């Protein structure tokens, strides 16, 4: 059995291994088993109120990747070379209203809450949506997007722990990218919007310099 100290060192080693890989070895592919493991860590990620407001679209079709490239400036090196390329979608505001079909599905069908518990959560969430999110469409969608970054981080860390590289991507034209995904039938209506993208694969070469970060005592304050 791996001891606690050894396990901690293995986890830290994975964080030190991970970097924003700009281009991948296109001859190396992630196995189905390994990529399913990465997706599973996204699926099991926590989300506010347990709403899981995400969808992971794995873009493996070469022609579709070519369509995405002109509107994805931050992914021009990754789209042609990544073993797996994922567009992460976030549920839009209508799907996250207190009385929406998705919210009720999560409470009743996924979390199996009794009716009286659902009512309590409904009241609590309604208050949260009206106060913290100001019952504002844009704030609700941005809140949804923030949840997807939890899954994004978990998937990249999980990948690093099994020696797979990744790169999170925000450099894209959201309007044009959305239009392409709608035209492809990936986004239907106003149920989802684009949150971010992430590429996975194996690095062509090691980074030119070791990972650099601010010292811990500069970013942590104890009170």
CA-wise closest residue to 97 among 134, 131, 46, 135: 135
Question: CA–CA separation, 124 vs 78, rounded Å?
Answer: 42
Q: What is the DSSP letter of 111?
A: S
Query: Has residue 10 been placed in a domain?
Result: no
The dihedral of CA 16, 20, 26, 29: what is its sign? positive
Q: Which stretches does DSSP call E strand in the chain? A: 54-58, 84-91, 165-169, 192-201
Q: What pLDDT is attached to residue 1?
A: 58
Q: What is the dihedral of CA 104, 107, 108, 111, to 10 degrees?
A: 150
Question: CA–CA separation, 197 vs 77, rounded Å?
Answer: 13
Question: CA–CA separation, 72 vs 80, rounded Å?
Answer: 12
Query: Has residue 222 been placed in a domain?
Result: no
Q: Which helix (H) or strand (E) holds 103?
A: helix 101-105
Query: Has residue 221 been placed in a domain?
Result: no
The values of phi and psi at residue 123, to 5°, are -65, -45
Beta bridge partners of 166: 20, 200
Query: Has residue 212 been placed in a domain?
Result: no
Question: CA–CA separation, 183 vs 21, rounded Å?
Answer: 29
For residues 155 and 197, the answer to whether their CB atoms sit within 8 Å is no
- CATH number, domain containing residue 198: 3.40.109.10
Q: What pLDDT is attached to residue 3?
A: 85
The neighbour count for residue 148, using CB atoms within 10 Å, is 24
The neighbour count for residue 109, using CB atoms within 10 Å, is 9
Structural domain containing residue 139: 21-207
Q: What pLDDT is attached to residue 211?
A: 87
Q: Strand, coil or helix: what is 140? A: helix
The values of phi and psi at residue 189, to 5°, are 65, -140
User: How many domains in the chain?
Assistant: 1
Q: What pLDDT is attached to residue 210?
A: 84
Query: Has residue 1 been placed in a domain?
Result: no
Query: Has residue 9 been placed in a domain?
Result: no
For residues 43 and 50, the answer to whether their CB atoms sit within 8 Å is no
Tens digit of pLDDT per residue, the chain (223 long)? 568 999 999 999 999 999 999 999 999 999 999 999 999 999 999 999 999 999 999 999 999 999 999 999 999 999 999 999 999 999 999 999 999 999 999 999 999 999 999 999 999 999 999 999 999 999 999 999 999 999 999 999 999 999 999 999 999 999 999 999 999 999 998 899 999 999 999 999 998 888 899 999 999 999 9
Query: Has residue 5 been placed in a domain?
Result: no
């Amino acid at each position: 059995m791996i001891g606690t100290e050894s396990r901690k060192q293995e986890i830290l080693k994975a964080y030190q291994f991970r970097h924003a890989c700009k281009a991948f070895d296109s001859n190396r592919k992630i196995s189905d088993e390994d990529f399913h493991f990465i997706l599973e860590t996204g699926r099991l990620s926590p989300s506010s109120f347990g709403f899981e407001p995400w969808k992971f679209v794995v873009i493996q079709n070469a022609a579709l990747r070519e369509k995405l490239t002109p509107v994805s400036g931050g992914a021009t090196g990754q789209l042609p070379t990544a073993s797996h390329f994922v567009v992460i979608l976030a549920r839009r505001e209508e799907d996250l209203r207190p009385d929406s079909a998705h919210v009720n599905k999560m409470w009743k069908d996924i979390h199996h809450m009794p009716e009286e518990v659902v009512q309590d959560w409904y009241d609590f969430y309604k208050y949260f949506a009206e106060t913290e999110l100001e019952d504002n469409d844009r704030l609700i969608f941005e809140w949804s997007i923030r949840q997807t970054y939890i899954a994004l981080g978990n998937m990249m860390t999980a990948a690093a722990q099994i020696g797979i590289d990744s790169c999170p991507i925000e450099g894209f034209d959201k309007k044009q990218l959305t239009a392409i995904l709608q035209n492809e039938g990936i986004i239907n209506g106003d149920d989802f919007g684009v949150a971010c993208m992430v590429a996975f694969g194996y690095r062509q070469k090691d980074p030119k310099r070791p990972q650099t970060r601010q010292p811990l005592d500069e970013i942590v304050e104890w009170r």
